[in-house]
């Protein structure tokens, strides 16, 4: 089976195991583990390396779970992924599970790139506009992009809305070329 199909299968299994209402907390906990894997090569190696016994992994994960306040379901899920050597796909599983969750909740996630701090008033107007466009409630994540000269870039799913100065100039140039 292809890795993407595998990740989707495990993401669906995760959602079914924790229930739709438990998904946000579970994804937060899995993100903690993902970040730890990204920061610590030793931890990632520990989860991936078959030289470590399953009982050693289980003890270490349970100890870490106590200090990080991770749920038993998350620990079991990570152990299962580790046993099957799928722990390397955790980032993809989190991404797919998030997309499935948002789809079921009729929500969308937008990433907004901007060069300046956005006011609360503008943020609310942007949310309303995106809700009209997508016909879903929208969660917005703002990313500061100093290289952006002006305007904003909004990414909702696979759709990109470009109101940046550079984007507008590119559109104008294309119109002039078309004649």
Stated pTM of the model:
0.66
Show Cβ contacts of residue 100 under 8 Å, excluding neighbours closer than 6 positions. 11, 12, 15
Quick one: angle between helices 3-18 and 90-104, nearest 10?
60
List, in sequence order, every residue forming a beta bridge with 109; answer none if it has no partner. Answer: 139
Task: Give the mean pLDDT of 21-35.
Answer: 87
Sign of the alpha-carbon torsion through 90, 94, 97, 99 = negative
Say yes or no to pLDDT of 169 above 80.
yes
| pLDDT tens digit sequence for 36-81 | 888 888 888 888 877 788 888 888 888 877 777 888 888 888 888 8
């Amino acid at each position: 089976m292809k890795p993407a199909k595998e990740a989707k299968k495990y993401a669906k299994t995760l959602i079914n195991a924790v229930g739709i209402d438990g998904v946000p907390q579970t994804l937060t906990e899995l993100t903690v583990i993902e970040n730890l894997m990204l920061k610590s090569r030793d931890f990632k190696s520990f989860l991936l390396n078959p030289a470590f016994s399953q009982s050693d992994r289980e003890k270490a994960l349970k100890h870490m779970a106590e200090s990080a306040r991770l749920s038993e379901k998350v620990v079991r899920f990570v152990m299962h992924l580790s046993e099957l050597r799928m722990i390397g796909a955790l980032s993809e599983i989190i991404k797919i599970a998030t997309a499935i969750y948002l789809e079921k909740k009729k929500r969308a996630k937008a990433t907004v790139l901007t060069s300046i701090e956005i006011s609360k008033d503008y943020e609310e107007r942007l949310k309303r506009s995106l809700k009209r466009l997508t016909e879903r409630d929208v969660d917005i994540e703002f990313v500061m992009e100093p290289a952006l000269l002006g305007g904003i870039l909004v990414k909702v799913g696979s759709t990109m809305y470009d109101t940046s100065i550079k984007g507008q100039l590119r559109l104008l140039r294309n119109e002039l070329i078309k004649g």
